[in-house]
Amino acid sequence: MTMLSMPPRVMAKARPGALPMPADRRVSAFAPASVYDRWGEDAAGVRALERGDNVITMFEDIGEDFWTGGGITAKKVAAQLRAIGDRPVEVQINSPGGDMFEGIAIYNVLREHPQDITVKVMGMAASAASLVAMAGDRVEIGVSSFIMIHNCWVMAIGNRHDMAEVAEWLAPFDQAMVDLYALRTGADAAQIAKWMDDEAWMSGSTAIERGFADALLPADQMVRDEETQASDREVNELRALELTLVRAGHSRRDARARINKIKGTPGAAPIGTPGAADPKWTGALAGLLDTLKV
């Protein structure tokens, strides 16, 4: 009788405990504008070929998205989990991140689900989206997809005492992320802190090597939709410009008002319509963004 050797079973990693949330939720931690630029170049328009009734898709900003009226929030994810019920869940991610603290909240919601969670990084899980990805018992990533980690990134105005206070306030959240990544990957905490300091971009093979993912995602499970890609990139220009204006000292409300004035519309939600870009104002926005980056 011939005995067939079976491949070793991949054991799901234990999901760690909940991450801390800020006492003052009026503070937002963003993904830098450079992340949106890279998402527009490398990951915009990447989607999964198939969906199921136990699948949660995260193909937008983390947090409420002013420019589309959408965005991935903990409240929406909690509602989707209730609808799925006591079954395994698949989470498909292609997101540049967004509000870090909303990402922490989504992570905390996912980790409470009683059944296994499989995360599939379709194009990118950057910034806050990388935290969401760590909620998976199993994480699969495309060979040309990316996971990006960095320190908590906020915008603050004030004197050196104010800046010192902000730095002190952020330290526990950076440490919580280090602890989370270390528990998930088994990597040394000091090395992870260095990767975060360097804003580390990890391709599929590197993410697996470092323990941030478990296996490569077959390429035939993904597709890049050109119309969706154009829409993703259009909204990306708006997000990047908004952050650039805020970084220059404008309030978010003022930045959005200025951008809306350029594109000549009173509201933002119609931007999410694929193919609806007006070359006159998109060109003006791109030119202004390039000027501000100089």
Tokens of 239: 């997000």
Q: Which residues contact 43 (CB under 8 A, 6 or more apart)?
A: 94, 96, 123, 124, 145, 146
pTM of the model: 0.75
Tell me, what's the pLDDT at 113? Answer: 95
Query: 162-181 burial by CB neighbour count: b if 16+ within 10 A, else e?
Result: eeeebeebbeebbebbbebb
- The tens-digit pLDDT sequence of the chain (294 residues) is 333 333 333 334 555 666 665 555 455 666 777 777 777 778 777 888 677 889 999 998 898 887 777 889 999 999 999 999 999 999 999 999 988 889 989 999 999 999 999 999 998 999 999 999 999 999 999 998 999 999 987 767 778 888 888 888 888 889 989 998 998 999 999 999 999 999 999 999 999 999 999 999 987 777 787 788 888 888 877 877 887 787 777 777 888 888 888 776 545 444 444 444 455 445 555 555 555 554
CA pair distance 229, 99, nearest whole angstrom: 22
Which residue, chain included where needed, has tokens 């491949």?
A: 7
